[in-house]
Copies of this chain bind each other. A is one copy, B any other.
Amino acid sequence: MEQQTLIETTAERAATAAGQFAGTNPRRRAQALVRIADALDSNAAELIPIAMRETGLGEARLQGEVRRTSNQLRLFAEVIVEGAYLDVRIDDADPEYVVGPRPELRRMLQPVGPVLNFAASNFPFAFSVVGGDTAAALAAGCPVILKAHSGHPELSQRTAQIVVESLAAAGMPDNVFQIVAGQEVGVELLRDKRIRAGSFTGSTLVGRILAEIAATREQPIPFYGELGSVNPAYATVGAFELDPELVKGFLASVAGSAGQLCTKPGFLFVPAQVALGDVAAAVGAVAPHRLLNVNIGRAFVGRRSEVIETPGVTVLAEGSVWSDEHDQQFVTPTVVEVSLDELLNTETLLEECFGPLSIVVRYEDVSDLAGVHRRLFPGNLTSTVRATESDWASGQLTELISALAETSGRVLFDGWPTGVSVTNAMQHGGPFPATTTDATSVGTAAIGRFLRGVTYQSAPNAVLPKPLRDDNPWNVPQRRSVAGLSATWGTLQGTY
């Protein structure tokens, strides 16, 4: 199809599907999600080898990723059947309401309409065709146009086929899910007025360009981009005594999936007096891992040289870099060390390095860390602080913890930030550049990104959407404000 025709057809189909899909019973939509999940699992043996070939990721990692992706769909299915995600609020009419006479008002969250989702390179299942953003949009009741990542084209097409077949088998409307490829097609679709929200996982550079397109088009739309994060970690002297394996755990987190994870710890702040042991030997045990694609490989090798050659930087573990006849890079982790003073004077070290490289920062005084963090790390997906019971009790970390919470989506007090759980309480999103909004792209709260509030005033019950009706046929939680009970703050006034 000619490109303009393709864009027009795809957008129009999504718009047509939107109305039909929005009205589906969440129980039937949930069944469709579970059917996709089942199909993913039963086709895993076919899909994983394609993913291995196209991305260089290992079999065990990809098996875990498929399991996570299919179970994420099942979890979202549960959420929409339960119905609290609709945030139903009903205010009975109340002529005596103190803020002024009140008509009957019924509010719920409704799907925003067609969502354009840009797939990521580094999670060919969990952040790609039917990963978190797609699952959240479908759960919300929004048709999805998936812009495939060029890094795994065959896997994308095959997964899309499974999704389309599963949706059809579950009786969902046509074109609830469509796939397109190509940067230009993605950008043109993002400008199309029928697209009502965008989502993206990738680099700060590209994410920022797309976010600005979404914000400046004729009718701006929300754009949920998950961009860059260096995930600083801080450890006290006591933390190293408490956990003799601390360095090993850190290195494993840096090395996993060749460091190509958005939550890889890019900095570890270590007290000047702590001996780290033989980092080079520990890293030497890591097997070389292919980087995802030629571009990422080239960028990593360049960035690694830049870091190593920065004055003041000491190499703790040089790691290996080797490229095959197709220019694919195979690497092991690189770990360097720098003093806090040097870091404060070297802005270029602060940029994210996508791949297995991390920077150990030597600090003298734990009381400097809160100020340093606020100055250097304005927005991250995660921050980590490792300490002991007596450190916590002493209060010397209180200000640092506040600084981490102000600037991060998730703050860890044990373990390492890689391995993001898909749960109710997960937050995967923080101040820019971690995400373009503060919304989460992982966990059940991610569904809310593709919903908007609509209030029905003085409506006959028969024309209301089912979740707002008095007979509540979908049996969803309804928060009701009855007449005559609106002025309860008298008790509050009494408290001072």
Tell me the A residues contacting B by CB distance below 8 Å. Answer: 19, 27, 30-31, 34-35, 38, 64, 67-68, 71-72, 74-75, 77-78, 81, 87, 89-91, 97-103, 105-107, 110, 112-113, 170, 193, 196, 211-212, 215-216, 219-222, 378-379, 389, 392-393, 397-398, 401-402, 405-406, 408-415, 419, 421-427, 429-433, 436-440, 443, 445, 452-460, 462-463, 465, 479, 481, 486, 488-489, 492-493, 495-496
Contacts and interface: CB of A to CB of B under 8 A. Distances in A.
A47 B219 CA distance: 39
25 contacts: A34-B496, A38-B493, A74-B98, A75-B99, A77-B489, A81-B492, A87-B445, A89-B425, A99-B422, A103-B421, A106-B425, A107-B424, A107-B426, A107-B427, A113-B406, A170-B496, A212-B216, A405-B454, A410-B454, A410-B456, A412-B457, A414-B457, A438-B452, A439-B453, A440-B453
Given A74-B98, A97-B423, A411-B457, 20 more contacts: A27-B492, A91-B425, A102-B421, A103-B414, A103-B415, A105-B425, A106-B425, A211-B215, A212-B215, A216-B216, A220-B432, A392-B463, A405-B456, A411-B455, A411-B459, A413-B457, A413-B463, A427-B455, A431-B452, A439-B453
Contact of A423 (B71, B102, B423, B425): B102
A31 B495 contact: yes
The copy count of this chain in the complex is 2
A430 B196 CA distance: 12
Contact of A112 (B427, B438, B495): B438
A31 B100 contact: no
A454 B408 contact: yes
A465 B411 CA distance: 12
Contact of A426 (B68, B72, B87, B105): B105
Nearest to A31: B496
The 9 closest A-B pairs by CB, nearest first: A438-B452, A215-B215, A414-B458, A427-B455, A89-B425, A105-B425, A107-B425, A427-B453, A413-B459
Contact of A99 (B71, B97, B409, B437): B71
Contacts of A412: 457-458
B432 A219 contact: yes
Given A97-B423, A99-B72, A392-B460, A492 B438 contact: no
A395 B19 CA distance: 16
Contacts of A393: 462
Contacts of A402: 19
